[in-house]
Homo-oligomer: A and B are copies of this chain.
Amino acid sequence: MRRSRDVPSLVAAAKAGDPRAVARLVSLVENNDEVLPAVAAALAPSTGTAQILGLTGSPGVGKSTTTNELVRAFRQAGRRVGVLAVDPSSPFSGGAILGDRVRMQDHATDPNVYIRSMSSRGHLGGLAAATPQAARVLEGAGCDPVIVETVGVGQAEVEVASLADTTVVLLAPGMGDAIQAAKAGVLEIADIFVVNKADRDGADNTYRDIQGMIGLAERAAGQWRPQVVRAVASRGEGIDDILAAIDKHRAWLADSGELRNRREARAAAEVEAIALGALRERIGTLRNGDALKSLATRVADGEIDPYAAADQLLSSLAE
């Protein structure tokens, strides 16, 4: 709890642009559930308006390379940029997996670029709770946009993508066809598709398939129709087109009122995730953790079904 007294001064230093304070705050947000409320309270009044860009796609499609190029473009426009690279953990290695971060070394010495990896490891509320706060830290430090890069296409990624004003989904030829993309659940979260590695065989098929899937979707009048852009991020090609699509989407968000809707939905998801994280912790610590454990033993033995066990757990919670 000693650290939580440092929070207001850390937040003030981060707002003044001190990179060590930013790094410290992100670490606190990531690793220390106790100080999250204090950090959130200190940041809430001055944050919540920066542009949040989500960037996602399967492993190997070139997310980090694309992020690197987008950062370069935003810097050229004079904007301070934050990047949160969300890894769904790797307890296996006992540490961060550095592979992709290395590719962002271009910006390692630029004081107007903050790049941080986030891990869900050990975090009670999961990424859905920690990531918005980390984005707020970067915003508090003057970053606009904040790019949230997620690995993979699972539910956690969809949740993280829901933090974004605009979600960019990367595809690459040979990574599977449009049906695979649909299976991976990314079609419904994408505002913009980027067919990366567009110089490779099959890029035209991927482009056509995605356009076909978009054409099939029902869409009310005035609703956003996902844009599809070709790029070869490793050569910097198509980056301007991605930026133009992002700008177009941003204009639509503002004109349609959807920006406000998304930010309220984001706030609701965030509040719910925090509340559920707290409830999960209460469940886990009921009778020093024995409540759940002894019920689980009885379920494994077939003595009681899991719904009846959950009922008992909830009764204990209410006591």
- Residues of A participating in the B interface, judged by any CB pair closer than 8 Å: 36-37, 40-41, 43-48, 58-60, 87-94, 97, 99-100, 120, 126-127, 132, 151-158, 174-177, 179-185, 187-188, 213, 216-218, 260, 263-268, 270-272, 274-276, 278-280, 283-284, 292-293, 295-297, 299-300, 302, 304-310, 313-314, 317-318
**With a CB–CB cut-off of 8 A, which chain B residues contact A263?**
300
Q: Are A94's CB and B218's CB within 8 A?
A: yes
Known: A44-B299, A175-B59, A188-B92. A307 touches B272 (CB 8 A): no
Q: Are A40's CB and B283's CB within 8 A?
A: no
A-side binding surface: helix, strand, loop or mixed?
Answer: helix
**With a CB–CB cut-off of 8 A, which chain B residues contact A305?**
37, 40-41, 43-44
Closest-CB distance, A179 to chain B (whole angstroms) = 4
Separation of A267 and B295 alpha carbons in the complex (Å): 8
Closest-CB distance, A113 to chain B (whole angstroms) = 21
- Counting every copy of the chain, the complex holds 2
Of B45, B151, B296, which is within 8 A of A268 by CB? B296
Q: Are B40's CB and A307's CB within 8 A?
A: yes
**With a CB–CB cut-off of 8 A, which chain B residues contact A278?**
310, 314
Q: Are A271's CB and B310's CB within 8 A?
A: yes
**With a CB–CB cut-off of 8 A, which chain B residues contact A293?**
264, 268
Q: Are A60's CB and B152's CB within 8 A?
A: no
Q: Are A88's CB and B185's CB within 8 A?
A: yes
Known: A154-B155, A305-B44, A314-B278. A297 touches B183 (CB 8 A): no
Separation of A47 and B155 alpha carbons in the complex (Å): 28
Of B58, B93, B120, B270, which is within 8 A of A299 by CB? B270
Separation of A268 and B183 alpha carbons in the complex (Å): 29
Interface centre among A58, A187, A268, A309 (most CB of B within 10 A): A268
Separation of A48 and B303 alpha carbons in the complex (Å): 11
Interface centre among A90, A152, A182 (most CB of B within 10 A): A152
Separation of A265 and B295 alpha carbons in the complex (Å): 11
**With a CB–CB cut-off of 8 A, which chain B residues contact A157?**
154
Separation of A184 and B100 alpha carbons in the complex (Å): 12
Q: Are B44's CB and A302's CB within 8 A?
A: yes
Q: Are A185's CB and B58's CB within 8 A?
A: no
Closest-CB distance, A217 to chain B (whole angstroms) = 6
Q: Are A275's CB and B313's CB within 8 A?
A: yes
Known: A93-B182, A300-B260, A302-B47. A309 touches B59 (CB 8 A): no
Known: A37-B307, A302-B48, A308-B37. A90 touches B185 (CB 8 A): yes
**With a CB–CB cut-off of 8 A, which chain B residues contact A184?**
59, 88, 151-152
Q: Are A274's CB and B307's CB within 8 A?
A: yes
28 A-B pairs within 8 Å (CB atoms) are namely: A37-B308, A40-B305, A40-B306, A44-B299, A45-B302, A58-B58, A88-B158, A90-B188, A92-B182, A92-B187, A92-B213, A93-B187, A97-B182, A151-B183, A151-B184, A152-B185, A154-B158, A175-B175, A264-B293, A267-B295, A268-B293, A272-B310, A274-B307, A274-B309, A274-B310, A275-B310, A276-B283, A278-B314
